[in-house]
C-alpha cells in the first residue's frame, strides 16, 4: 500500500464520520418543524460540529497535496472529498435554518405539511443515495440523484407559482415556502456530491 493511500483512507474516514451527523441534523430539523418542538440548540450543535469536521477535512486535503503532490485519479478523489465535506457541512447549516423558522413563525399547527413531507422524503433519499454513490463510486446512483434534483426543484417552483395568487393562510404559505427553499438547497448540495462521483470516475 502506498503512503498516500493511508492518507486518503483517513480522509475518507472523516467523511464517513460527517455523514451520520448531517443526517441526524436533518432528521431533527424536520421532526422539529413537524412537531413544532424547539430543537434549535441541538441542531446548532451538530451544525457547528460539522463545520469543525469540514475544516479538518480541508486541512488534511492541503497536507496530502503538499506532501504527496497527487495527480490523476488520486487528485480528483481528494478534490471531490472537499466537495462532499462542504455538502455535509451545508446539510447541517440548512437544517439549523429550518429549525429557526419555528422561532420566527411560532406555532402553526393548522397548516397542511403534506408537500413538506413529500419534498423532505425525496431530499432524504437524495442525501442517502449521494453518500452511497460516493462510497461505491457508482455512476448510475449518482445520475439518479441528479435526476431527483429536478423533481425537488419543480416542487419548489410550482409551489412558489401557486402561492402568488393564493388566498390561503399567509403564515402557512410563507412557512412552507421557506422550508421548501431550504430543502431545495440541501438537494442542490446532494446533487453536487453526486456530480463529484462523475468527476472522480470519468474525469
Name the domain count of the chain: 1
Q: What is the mean pLDDT of residues 157-168?
A: 86
* CA–CA dist 189, 19 (Å, integer): 13
Q: What is the mean pLDDT of residues 14-23?
A: 97
Would the pLDDT of 2 be above 90?
no
Would the pLDDT of 168 be above 80?
no
Q: What is the DSSP letter of 31?
A: H
Nearest to 16 by CA among 62, 53, 66: 53
Q: C-alpha 7: how far from its chain's center?
A: 25
Convert the pLDDT of each residue in 89-117 to its tens digit: 999 999 999 998 877 776 666 788 899 99
Provide, for the chain, the percentages of residues in helix, strand and coil under a 3-state DSSP scheme, each rounded to the nearest 5.
90, 0, 10
Would the pLDDT of 62 be above 90?
yes
| Beta carbons of 142 and 198 less than 8 angstroms apart | yes
Tell me phi and psi for residue 21, to 5 degrees: -65, -40
* pLDDT confidence tier of residue 33, bands split at 50, 70 and 90: confident
Range of the domain at 94: 3-202
* CA–CA dist 76, 87 (Å, integer): 17
- The pLDDT of residue 107: 67
* pLDDT confidence tier of residue 120, bands split at 50, 70 and 90: very high
Convert the pLDDT of each residue in 40-60 to its tens digit: 999 999 999 999 999 999 999
Nearest to 115 by CA among 172, 169, 192, 191: 172
Q: How many Cα neighbours within 13 Å face the side chain of 145?
A: 30
The DSSP string of 44-62 is HHHHHHHHHHHHHHHHHHH
* CA–CA dist 35, 91 (Å, integer): 20
What the block records as the C-alpha cell of 15 is: 467523511
Q: Which helix (H) or strand (E) holds 78?
A: helix 72-105
- The pLDDT of residue 72: 93
* CA–CA dist 102, 68 (Å, integer): 48
Of all residues in the chain, the percent with pLDDT exceeding 70 is: 98
What the block records as the C-alpha cell of 39 is: 430543537
> Where residue 109 sits, what CATH number does that domain have?
1.20.58.220
* pLDDT confidence tier of residue 28, bands split at 50, 70 and 90: very high
Of all residues in the chain, the percent with pLDDT exceeding 90 is: 78
- The pLDDT of residue 36: 79
Amino acid at each position: 500500500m502506498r503512503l498516500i493511500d493511508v492518507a486518503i483512507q483517513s480522509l475518507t474516514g472523516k467523511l464517513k464520520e460527517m455523514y451520520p451527523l448531517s443526517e441526524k441534523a436533518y432528521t431533527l430539523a424536520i421532526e422539529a418543524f413537524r412537531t413544532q418542538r424547539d430543537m434549535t440548540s441541538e441542531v446548532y450543535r451538530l451544525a457547528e460540529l460539522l463545520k469543525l469536521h469540514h475544516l479538518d477535512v480541508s486541512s488534511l486535503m492541503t497536507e496530502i497535496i503538499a506532501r504527496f503532490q497527487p495527480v490523476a485519479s488520486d487528485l480528483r478523489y481528494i478534490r471531490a472529498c472537499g466537495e462532499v465535506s462542504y455538502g455535509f457541512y451545508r446539510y447541517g447549516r440548512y437544517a439549523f435554518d429550518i429549525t429557526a423558522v419555528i422561532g420566527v413563525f411560532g406555532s402553526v399547527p393548522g397548516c397542511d405539511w403534506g408537500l413538506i413531507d413529500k419534498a423532505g422524503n425525496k431530499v432524504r433519499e437524495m442525501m442517502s443515495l449521494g453518500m452511497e454513490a460516493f462510497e461505491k463510486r457508482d455512476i448510475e446512483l449518482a445520475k439518479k440523484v441528479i435526476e431527483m434534483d429536478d423533481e425537488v426543484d419543480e416542487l419548489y417552483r410550482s409551489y412558489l407559482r401557486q402561492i402568488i395568487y393564493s388566498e390561503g393562510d399567509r403564515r402557512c404559505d410563507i412557512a412552507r415556502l421557506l422550508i421548501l427553499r431550504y430543502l431545495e438547497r440541501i438537494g442542490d448540495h446532494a446533487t453536487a456530491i453526486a456530480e463529484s462521483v462523475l468527476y472522480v470516475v470519468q474525469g
